[in-house]
């Protein structure tokens, strides 16, 4: 039986290049669902150092490029996050996807907005240098962490709760949606999936792909739904053991061209230094 066809699927905060990234599982979600529009809602990368990308990370990018092929008649939208800043000039060439600061569309008679959400995180928005050094420190911590990265994931959860980031982003997003006359607004950034409604405006957060709880959003005629990814046991996913150790970083992108679906182009090898 074919999976349901959604109008839109939203995926956020995959953080390719981070040791905690669950890129393999994110690729499985894209392969296991049918949809007319895919929105990558920011922070798809952890930073601009492409040498940190593993084979699974390149496979994810390769599948995005495959989906963006015009013959598929499928719209792929990339909304820039705070970790993605600086990628606008290369992403359209790398995976054939246009990058937006904010994306709006109409569906079922309602106006929808997609924006990453870091714009509503005042601490981060006002301290770009803090964001840069915080990212470097967090990535280094992951490399020193135990198997499964329990310390890094614990810090990520504590950071979200201690700074009340989910509440701040939700409040800012709802205000932004009201200003732009939107019925629904979608964000990422907090890594915490949630739904909140105020004055008939609905806020949804797509969560993230760096923790144990992996979530994504779908939109269809039945409404909006937050899904929690569960590993399939029928053999239709990528076929890897869920407990298998993560691949080591692989900077030889041309060798992955055939496997990932990315075009064979030597200039990718040194992207990001």
Closest CA to 262 of 79, 47, 50, 102: 50
Over residues 218-247, the mean pLDDT reads: 69
Quickly list DSSP for the chain.
Answer: -PPPEEEEEEE----BTSTT--HHHHHHHHHH-EEEEEEE-S--BSSS-GGG-BHHHHHHHHHHHHHT-GGG--EEEEE--TTTTT-HHHHHHHHS-EEESSEEEEETTEEEEE--SGGG-HHHHT-HHHHHHHHHHHHHHHHHSPTT-HHHHHHHHHHHHHTTHHHHHHHHHHHHHHHTT-SEEEE-SSS--EEEEETTEEEEE---SSSS--EEEEEETTEEEEEE----SSS-S----TTPPPPPB---GGGGHHHH-----GGGGGTT-
Over residues 63-77, the mean pLDDT reads: 94
Strand partners, 154: none
Structural domain boundaries in the chain: 5-270
Least confident range of 17-31, 55-69, 76-90, 224-238: 224-238
Over residues 255-261, the mean pLDDT reads: 43
Over residues 44-67, the mean pLDDT reads: 90
> Which letter, b or e, does each residue of 134-147 get, where b requires 16 or more Cβ atoms within 10 Å of its Cβ?
ebeebbeebeebee
Tokens coding 241: 């053991």
pLDDT score recorded for residue 129 = 47
Kindly tell me if the per-residue pLDDT of 75 is higher than 90: yes
Kindly tell me if the per-residue pLDDT of 88 is higher than 90: no
Range 5-270 has CATH code 3.40.50.620: no
Check residues 167 and 238 and name the one with the higher pLDDT: 167
Give the pLDDT band of residue 50 (cuts 50, 70, 90): confident
Kindly tell me if the per-residue pLDDT of 78 is higher than 90: yes
Phi-psi region of 183 (alpha: psi -120 to 50; beta: other; left: phi over 0): alpha
pLDDT score recorded for residue 150 = 57
Tokens coding 102: 């904010």
Average pLDDT over the chain reads: 78
pTM: 0.76
Check residues 60 and 139 and name the one with the higher pLDDT: 60
Kindly tell me if the per-residue pLDDT of 214 is higher than 60: yes
Over residues 25-36, the mean pLDDT reads: 97
Check residues 250 and 37 and name the one with the higher pLDDT: 37
Chain CA centroid to CA 157, Å: 17
pLDDT score recorded for residue 204 = 98
């Amino acid at each position: 039986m074919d999976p349901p066809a959604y109008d839109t699927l939203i995926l956020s905060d995959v953080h390719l290049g981070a040791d905690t990234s669950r890129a393999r599982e994110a690729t499985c979600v894209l392969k296991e669902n049918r949809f007319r529009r895919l929105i990558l809602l920011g922070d798809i990368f952890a930073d601009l150092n492409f040498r940190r990308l593993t084979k699974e990370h390149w496979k994810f990018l390769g599948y995005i490029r495959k989906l963006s092929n015009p013959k598929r008649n499928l719209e792929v939208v990339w909304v820039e996050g705070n970790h993605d800043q600086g990628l606008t000039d290369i992403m359209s060439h790398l995976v054939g996807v246009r990058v937006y600061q904010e994306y709006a569309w109409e569906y079922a008679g309602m106006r929808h907005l997609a924006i990453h959400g870091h714009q509503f995180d005042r601490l981060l928005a006002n301290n770009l240098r803090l964001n840069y050094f915080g990212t470097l420190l967090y990535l280094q911590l992951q490399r020193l962490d135990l198997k499964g990265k329990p310390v890094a994931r614990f810090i990520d959860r504590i950071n979200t709760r201690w700074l009340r980031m989910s509440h701040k982003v939700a409040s800012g997003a709802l205000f932004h949606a009201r200003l732009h006359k939107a019925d629904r607004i979608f964000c990422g950034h907090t890594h915490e999936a949630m739904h909140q409604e105020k004055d008939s405006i609905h806020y949804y957060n797509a969560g993230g792909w760096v923790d144990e709880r992996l979530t994504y959003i779908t939109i269809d005629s039945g409404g909006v739904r937050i899904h929690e990814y569960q590993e399939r046991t029928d053999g239709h996913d990528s076929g890897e053991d869920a407990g298998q150790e993560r691949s080591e970083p692989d900077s030889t992108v041309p060798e992955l061209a055939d496997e990932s679906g990315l075009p064979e182009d030597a200039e990718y090898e040194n992207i990001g230094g």
